[in-house]
Amino acid sequence: MKRSRRTKIVATLGPASDTPEMIAKLFRAGVDVFRLNMSHLPREKLPEKVEAIRAVEREFKRPIGILVDLQGPKLRLGAFAEGFAMIENGASFVLDGDPTPGDVHRCYLPHPEILSALEPGHSVIIDDGKLRLTVTEVSEARAVTRVEVGGRISNRKGVSLPHTVIPLPAMTDKDRGDLEAGLNVGADWIAVSFVQRPEDVAEVKKVCAGRALVMAKIEKPQALTRLDEIMEISDGVMVARGDLGVEMPLEQVPGVQKRITRSARRQGKPVVVATQMLESMITAPVPTRAEVSDVATAVYEGADAVMLSAESASGAFPLEAIAMMSRIAEEVERDALYWSIIRAQNSTPDHTAADAIAAAAHQMVDALDLEAIMAWTHSGSTALRLSRERPNATVIALTPKRETARRLAIAWGTHPIVTNDASDVDDMAFRAAKFAVRERFAEVGDRIIVVAGVPFGTPGATNLVRIAFITREHAAKA
């Protein structure tokens, strides 16, 4: 299962794609990581879905990543006496703590913490941007708003607050249960929804305690004001453009996407660009030209992965969507302009031996025109440092830890392999060469770069780089 692209694909499982047969087809078509969305997946179904993915992993003998996406706090209106009301532009509308069914003048907001956090001038967005209110005055248990964009307002519609820092943790009681369930079944990544502050990520990381890596979903404007802090504490980030586009002006989202992608690249954290990438393929077998351009833009920017949501979870053409996304990435990566953009974003290596070696390996790839960097890694940090450099060669991550291989499935340009750790320097070079041939990244007469840390098995101790020649003996052992 050698991929011919370096950008990874994350696919959400759902009613259209969660049978064992379809999971196998999706993986063969190009999926590297499967996302399980706990907003729609009942917790008791989680073990069954994970086992189906692991069965495919065993069949293809390739590590597959599993991303469990927590729902996060969902803010919703209360009910209306008639099920809905029509509110007009310029009218006054009250949000309050009274559970009495609402009408054209007021509605129950069952979140007292929101009422206490709202201030005059703050926007209240309802039903994914269909209605927009502006707060004019607030008191202890009510907020008076002016209707800026009116229309039909109905029961339990979602509420977004782009200007308000909500005094709510990123994890609800449901999320805590889902998180524990995800860790128990061996999830590789946990995605935290509606992150506003670094403390939201820290709370999840404390519970994970190293059992899974934590990805912060950037989908609220408040997160952008503390992006560097959130990025530092997270293991990876996701640009959740759907909710970002609801809570901030749409025209600002592309710039934010670039900012997050480049910041993650500088810090060596995997970044996933998500939502509405091939939206029309939910109902059509081909995407629009604009959608193709959108996916290509994320690839040109050097995103580690691009993600499909409803396209693969509930759409009519999940396999076609995966195949299309894979072809777009492959075509972009063949473009000479792609590599000029990628190299223009290269940052100065940190003052560590590991970063110096990763930068040197990148230069060696260019100078010697090599196809593979063989990285012996225990925790995955060596492979991630090499991936950050975006070399024009595949980073083959050799690790004794299956969980490390699965986590690296999301990282740009990595090809993880589970194998016993090297016993000495000669064993390190010989087996690296053998795997390069076996995985069809090199042949007799080629050279490869081998990166490792001595003593072996010590996490984060990258301190060695070596050039190895592929011989007939390596090919025979492969």
Q: Which residues are catalytic?
A: 35, 76, 217, 275
Q: Which residues of 352-374 are buried (b: 16+ CB within 10 A; e: fewer)?
A: eebbbbbbebbebbeeeebbbbb
Structure tokens at 40: 């729609």
Number of H helices, E strands in the chain: 18, 21
Q: How far is CA 209 from CA 179, 203, 212, 267, 321, in A?
A: 12, 10, 8, 21, 35
**Nearest alpha carbon to residue 299 among 414, 397, 408, 412:** 412
Rounded to 10 deg, the angle between the 336-344 and 289-300 helix axes is: 50
Q: What is the CA radius of gyration of the chain?
A: 24
Q: How far is CA 39 from CA 57, 110, 193, in A?
A: 25, 20, 10
CA dist 258 and 196 (Å) reads 19
**Contact (CB, 8 A) for 175 and 91:** no
CA dist 196 and 223 (Å) reads 4
Q: How many CB atoms lie within 10 A of CB 17?
A: 24
